């Protein structure tokens, strides 16, 4: 691991490679970055662009902006490329996604139009409710990996890119329980040779990225870099990996409220979460196998955060249900309802209703930006393998196999900021603060 001045400089262009570049999240991210670069909008929701970090003692008032404190790539140095199963350029795709208004897209139209997706590696078996024709003709796993690598190599050449990051913003793949082929790198590579049907397209992209020395972050809930084979590959090739499933919307609220209840030792008997959404993501999640992937990711949050085994009287046996309904009139403007049944002093019950009328991709886009910049920082700082300090961004944070994931948003934020302090040789902030009052 490199720290302070040993961190490799963020020089040259940073290539951002996006499977699913024509989707709602990707196009909202791309249009937003360009609008910010042109001074037309603010990067709201992005910690790297808007956030600050406290350093040293409170009376020192040292609170630099994060982007001034750590050596991040500049927005002007980002270059984009990616794959999609639809051939629409990113302007056309953004119009279809219907997240941003035409009046916000038009000022960045030429930039978006220039982003033409490369044909995708796609197998409908993994995304049943989607069919697109803009796919690679190769059929064998190894040929497909080579085709992805060839796309990356020509992108790097064309734009004189010095480093790349790959971030999966494509559809959620069907639920897959990791099996023997995913258990080690050698069995995975054997599986590649034999076109094992349990190797998904996202794994082919990730394999191509990692073997090219490119960090990979997974924005969807399907398993990709969280299988042992990929963890081994990342460690062997000294590349950063992170995942999974962007923490937006209902789960974001859950990881804000849940730690609050737990902090006050309030009990929970049930949490019923339902959503309606009408975008393509919602359509994909109509399929049972894709929904199961999402459900697993959403359900794990409360269980791990509230620790029923540690607090059986407060959290033993609570009911947790998550429902997602595809309802086209809403488009990307998802509505989430949470009915939360808690109890307090002497067991008296109370009820909380949360009705979040959110915009999914508006919440996700700044996370994509932060992940791109922090993954690049990690790679330049030789922080390879699983990037648990980026748990802040994920619904199902990937961590070492012997640990349970940390879901509490506030602990995640502390971990992230302490990691940045550590990287830059600054003191860790423990919030003890006794030395403000006593000689310790």
d(CA 281, CA 359): 13
Question: Is there binding between residue 89 and ligand NAD (CB under 6 A)?
Answer: no
- Using CB under 6 A as the binding rule, the residues of this chain from 381 to 410 that contact ligand NAD are none
Question: Is there binding between residue 250 and ligand NAD (CB under 6 A)?
Answer: no
Question: Is there binding between residue 245 and ligand NAD (CB under 6 A)?
Answer: yes
Q: Which lies closer to ligand NAD via its Cβ, residue 360 or residue 370?
A: 360
Integer-rounded Cα Rg, in Å, for the chain is 22
Contact indicator for 274, 298 with CB cutoff of 8 Å:
no
Measuring CA to CA, how many Å separate 181 from each of 172, 199, 240, 246, 341? 21, 8, 22, 26, 42
Question: Is there binding between residue 71 and ligand NAD (CB under 6 A)?
Answer: no
Contact indicator for 196, 141 with CB cutoff of 8 Å:
yes
Angle at 431 between CA 241 and CA 57, to 5 degrees: 100
Give the residue closest to ligand NAD by C-beta. 23
Measuring CA to CA, how many Å separate 21 from each of 17, 93, 116, 174, 424? 8, 9, 9, 19, 33
Q: Which lies closer to ligand NAD via its Cβ, residue 24 or residue 381?
A: 24
Measuring CA to CA, how many Å separate 370 from each of 164, 166, 174, 213, 246? 15, 13, 27, 20, 11
Q: Which lies closer to ligand NAD via its Cβ, residue 32 or residue 201?
A: 201
Compute the least distance from the CB of residue 220 to ligand NAD, in Å.
3
Question: Is there binding between residue 121 and ligand NAD (CB under 6 A)?
Answer: yes
DSSP 52: B
Compute the least distance from the CB of residue 363 to ligand NAD, in Å.
5
d(CA 259, CA 369): 26
d(CA 231, CA 224): 10
Question: Is there binding between residue 170 and ligand NAD (CB under 6 A)?
Answer: yes
Stretch near ligand NAD under the rule CB under 6 A, chosen from 21-29, 190-198, 209-217, 298-306: 21-29
Question: Is there binding between residue 248 and ligand NAD (CB under 6 A)?
Answer: yes
DSSP E strand boundaries for 34-101: 78-84
Q: Which lies closer to ligand NAD via its Cβ, residue 227 or residue 285?
A: 285
Question: Is there binding between residue 261 and ligand NAD (CB under 6 A)?
Answer: no
Q: Which of 68, 27, 41, 73 is nearest to 371 (CA)?
A: 73
Q: Which lies closer to ligand NAD via its Cβ, residue 68 or residue 146?
A: 146
Q: Which of 34, 89, 295, 360 binds ligand NAD (CB under 6 A)?
A: 360
Angle at 239 between CA 220 and CA 200, to 5 degrees: 40
Q: Which of 48, 218, 250, 361 binds ligand NAD (CB under 6 A)?
A: 361
Q: Which of 107, 132, 228, 308 binds ligand NAD (CB under 6 A)?
A: 132
Contact indicator for 144, 204 with CB cutoff of 8 Å:
yes
Work out whether strand 385-386 and strand 349-357 pair parallel, antiparallel, or are unpaired.
unpaired
Compute the least distance from the CB of residue 286 to ligand NAD, in Å.
12
Which residue is listed with tokens 């995975």?
A: 188
Stretch near ligand NAD under the rule CB under 6 A, chosen from 120-128, 145-153, 261-269, 413-421: 120-128
Q: Which lies closer to ligand NAD via its Cβ, residue 186 or residue 198?
A: 198
Stretch near ligand NAD under the rule CB under 6 A, chosen from 39-47, 125-133, 174-182, 256-264: 125-133
**What is the CB neighbour count within 10 angstroms for residue 264?**
9
d(CA 332, CA 362): 9
Compute the least distance from the CB of residue 83 to ligand NAD, in Å.
4
What is the rounded end-to-end Cα distance, in angstroms, of the chain? Answer: 32
Question: Is there binding between residue 24 and ligand NAD (CB under 6 A)?
Answer: yes
Stretch near ligand NAD under the rule CB under 6 A, chosen from 81-89, 263-271, 342-350, 411-419: 81-89
Question: Is there binding between residue 426 and ligand NAD (CB under 6 A)?
Answer: no
Question: Is there binding between residue 31 and ligand NAD (CB under 6 A)?
Answer: no
Binding site for ligand NAD (CB under 6 A): 19-20, 22-25, 83-86, 97, 120-122, 127, 130, 132, 169-172, 201, 219-220, 245-246, 248-249, 279-281, 284, 360-361, 363-364
């Amino acid at each position: 691991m490199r720290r302070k001045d040993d961190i490799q400089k963020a020089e040259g262009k940073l290539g951002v490679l996006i499977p699913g570049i024509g989707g709602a999240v990707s196009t909202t991210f791309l249009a937003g970055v360009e609008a910010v670069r042109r001074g037309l909008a603010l990067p709201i929701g992005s910690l790297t662009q808007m956030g600050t970090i406290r350093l040293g003692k409170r009376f020192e008032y040292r609170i630099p902006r994060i982007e001034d404190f750590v050596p991040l790539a500049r927005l002007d140095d980002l270059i984009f490329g990616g794959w999609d199963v639809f051939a629409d350029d990113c302007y056309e795709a953004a119009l279809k996604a219907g997240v941003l208004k035409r009046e916000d897209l038009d000022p960045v139209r030429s930039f978006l139009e220039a982003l033409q997706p490369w044909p995708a590696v796609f197998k409908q078996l993994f995304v049943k409710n989607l069919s697109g024709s803009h796919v690679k003709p190769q059929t064998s796993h190894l040929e497909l990996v080579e085709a992805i690598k060839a796309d990356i190599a020509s992108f790097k050449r064309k734009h004189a890119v010095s480093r790349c990051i790959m971030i999966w913003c494509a559809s959620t793949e069907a639920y897959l329980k990791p099996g023997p082929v995913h258990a080690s790198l050698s069995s995975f590579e054997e599986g590649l040779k034999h076109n094992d049907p349990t190797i998904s397209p996202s794994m082919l992209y990730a394999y191509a990225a990692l073997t090219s020395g490119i960090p990979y972050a997974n924005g969807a809930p399907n398993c990709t870099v969280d299988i042992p084979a990929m963890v081994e590959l990342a460690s062997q090739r000294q590349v950063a990996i992170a995942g999974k499933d962007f923490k937006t919307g209902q789960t974001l609220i859950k990881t804000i409220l849940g730690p609050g209840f737990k902090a006050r030792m309030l009990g929970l008997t049930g949490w019923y979460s339902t959503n309606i959404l009408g975008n393509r993501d919602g359509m994909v999640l109509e399929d049972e196998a894709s929904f199961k992937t999402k459900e697993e990711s959403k359900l794990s949050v409360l269980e791990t955060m509230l620790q029923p085994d540690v607090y059986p009287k407060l959290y033993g046996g609570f009911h947790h249900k998550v429902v997602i309904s595809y309802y086209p009139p809403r488009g990307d403007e998802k509505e989430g309802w949470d009915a939360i049944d808690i109890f307090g002093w002497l067991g008296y019950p109370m009820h909380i209703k949360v009705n979040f009328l959110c915009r999914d991709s508006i919440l996700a886009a700044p996370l994509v930006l932060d992940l791109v910049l922090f993954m690049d920082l990690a790679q330049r700082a030789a922080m390879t393998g699983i990037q648990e300090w980026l748990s802040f961004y994920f619904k199902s944070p990937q961590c070492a196999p012997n640990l349970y994931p940390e879901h509490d948003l506030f602990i995640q934020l502390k971990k992230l900021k302490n990691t940045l302090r550590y990287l830059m040789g600054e003191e860790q902030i423990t919030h003890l603060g006794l030395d403000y009052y006593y000689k310790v």
